[in-house]
Amino acid sequence: MNLKATNKTETNKYELEVEISAEDFNKALSEVAKTEGKKMSVSGFRKGHAPRSVIEKMYGENVFFEAAVDKLYRPAMQDAIEASGLEVIAVSNADVTSVSRENGIELKLTVVVKPVITIEGYKGIEATKKNVEVTDEDVSAELVKVQDRNSRMVDVDNRGALTGDTAVIDFEGFCDGKAFEGGKAEGFELSLGSGQFIPGFEDQIVGHEVGDEFEISVKFPEDYQAEELKGKDATFKIKLHQIKRKELPTLDDEFAKDVSEFDTLDEYKNSLREKLQSDREKQEETNVENQIFDALIEKVQGEIPEEMYEQEVEESINNFAYRLQSQGLNLETYLKYTGMDVNAIKEQFRPQSEKQLKLRLALEKIAELENLEVSDEAVEEEYEKLAKQYNMEVAQIKNLVAETQIRADLKNQKAIDFVKENASVKAEKPAKKTTRRKSTKKAAEEKTEETAEAKTEE
């Protein structure tokens, strides 16, 4: 391979002119002819035994050209990119301009390179940190959540159904006197007041008792998903089998012992307060970090090629698909459920992907400007941390994750730390307490009344 020329065609794009020698091309032709010739039938010869010269005479002398070009094309392209010294992120176009036994192969590659980024004002970025406070009401609300999680359902047989109860019912729906598809179920558990069914359905079950059989009348919404039921009146036959209500545990020391390692409810409340405080402080740290990141993104200057955005979107979608897979769902099924197509999900991921790309470019530039380096020891520590996290051997992790990627990630983290250390983070000013001043007239009246009362007492 010979890189003849490297020509800049536009911002972030170059054209590489590449030659593959006649010697290399003819060698590839011979190798291809041996393998491809075995698949070809020629009259008078057993399949795969016809000489190359006979095959070329019958099918044309360039019969093996395409396979030989395919054999040499990718290695030559990679060698040319390395020889160019360019930081190539994509090959947007590749053309074979000429092929011959005498002169070999000539290629033209259009490559997209990493953009030149500038960034200023990354020191002293301003951010506001809110004051974090956990009130007694916050603790009580969290306690109610725990209480609800530890509730149990008990049968009700001495009253009618109430909003908030769970009713176990059989139902069958009719429109114009005919049962419709999907309108029937048995032993269905319906939480009354949840809005799970169409408006009016759940309300008409309230008040009925176990064993009641009755009918309710409803109207399907105009925007109902089933076209044939939109805006239609319907009747449902209902049989109420069971009513269940939620029974909450008593908030006392025994409850604290059941749900925690603490012996008293007060101790448990204190632990909830500490956890809420810690969680909110972490959330506020993340909020401050996001303010800094957003400011950094705004400071990125440079023409970023579309190909980089597309790669970032693809990476985001691949990560999303991997998370779906861990939940037993694939991307194709997810798209079907949500009514989306590939283009729609790309549009959904595009804004966040753009921010991620700009942030990464900003951090890389800051690391360069500030001469931030990562030691070999830090790289090894990161490999060990990943091995422990995924319960694998360090050697396995090294086979999966390139050292260049580990080093780049650690360098970006150092850039994040640098920007945060040099940021100007101010505490949010507490809201001023406003007090209403009494009018002069009102104050005078109150003073007169106090004087009169004092004289009366005397």
Is-contact 304 116, C-beta < 8 A?
no
* Whole-angstrom distance, CA of residue 183 vs CA of residue 299: 57
- Non-local (6+) Cβ contacts of 81 within 8 A are 16, 88, 91, 109, 111
Is-contact 170 241, C-beta < 8 A?
yes
* 175: nearest Cα among 234, 126, 131, 130: 234
* Whole-angstrom distance, CA of residue 149 vs CA of residue 164: 15
> Cα–chain-centroid distance for residue 446?
64
- Non-local (6+) Cβ contacts of 43 within 8 A are none
Beta bridge partners of 74: none
Reported as half-sphere exposure (CB side, CA atoms, 13 A), residue 269 has a value of 15
Is-contact 203 164, C-beta < 8 A?
no
* 236: nearest Cα among 260, 210, 211, 214: 214
Query: How high is the pLDDT of residue 433?
Result: 52
φ and ψ at 89, to 5 degrees? Answer: -110, -15
φ and ψ at 264, to 5 degrees? Answer: -130, 160
Q: Which two structure tokens, joined as six digits, stand for 51?
A: 């000489």
Q: Whole-model pTM above 0.75? A: no
What's the Cα-to-Cα distance from 371 to each of 83, 87, 361, 368, 386, rounded to whole Å? 26, 20, 15, 5, 26
* Whole-angstrom distance, CA of residue 275 vs CA of residue 143: 12
Q: Which two structure tokens, joined as six digits, stand for 375?
A: 């030691």
Query: How high is the pLDDT of residue 443?
Result: 47
- What does each of the 458 residues of the chain score in pLDDT, given as a tens digit? 899 999 999 999 999 999 999 999 999 999 988 888 878 878 778 777 788 888 888 888 888 999 999 999 999 999 999 999 999 999 999 999 999 999 999 999 999 999 999 999 999 999 999 999 999 999 999 999 999 999 999 999 899 999 999 999 999 999 988 999 889 999 999 999 998 899 999 999 999 999 999 999 999 998 887 888 889 999 999 999 999 999 999 999 999 999 999 999 999 999 999 999 999 999 999 999 999 999 999 999 999 999 999 999 999 999 999 999 988 888 988 888 788 888 999 999 999 999 999 999 999 999 999 999 999 999 999 999 999 999 999 999 999 999 999 999 999 999 999 999 999 999 987 666 544 444 444 444 454 444 444 433 43
Sole residue written with tokens 């030659």 = 19
* Whole-angstrom distance, CA of residue 350 vs CA of residue 175: 45
SS (H, E, C) the chain: CEEEEEEEEECCEEEEEEEECHHHHHHHHHHHHHHHHHHCCCCCCCCCCCCHHHHHHHHCCCCCHHHHHHHHHHHHHHHHHHHHCCCEEEEEEEEEEEEECCCEEEEEEEEEECCCCEECCCCCCEEEECCCCCCHHHHHHHHHHHHHHCCEEEEECCCCCCCCCEEEEEEEEEECCEEEEEEEEEEEEEECCCCCCCCCCCCCCCCCCCCCEEEEEEECCCCCCCHHHCCCEEEEEEEEEEEEEEECCCCCHHHHHHHCCCCCHHHHHHHHHHHHHHHHHHHHHHHHHHHHHHHHHHHEECCCCHHHHHHHHHHHHHHHHHHHHHCCCCHHHHHHHHCCCHHHHHHHHHHHHHHHHHHHHHHHHHHHHCCCCCCHHHHHHHHHHHHHHCCCCHHHHHHHCCHHHHHHHHHHHHHHHHHHHCCEEEECCCCCCCCCCCCHHHHHHHHHHHHHHHHHHC
Whole-angstrom Cα Rg for the chain: 37
* Whole-angstrom distance, CA of residue 370 vs CA of residue 375: 15
* b/e map 418-446, b = 16+ CB within 10 Å: bbbeebeeeeeeeeeeeeeeeeeeeeeee
What's the Cα-to-Cα distance from 270 to each of 249, 275, 283, 352, rounded to whole Å? 19, 9, 20, 39
* Whole-angstrom distance, CA of residue 50 vs CA of residue 64: 14
Say which amino acid occupies 249.
P
Q: Which two structure tokens, joined as six digits, stand for 357?
A: 């790309």
* 15: nearest Cα among 4, 28, 29: 4
Query: How high is the pLDDT of residue 438?
Result: 45
Query: How high is the pLDDT of residue 456?
Result: 37
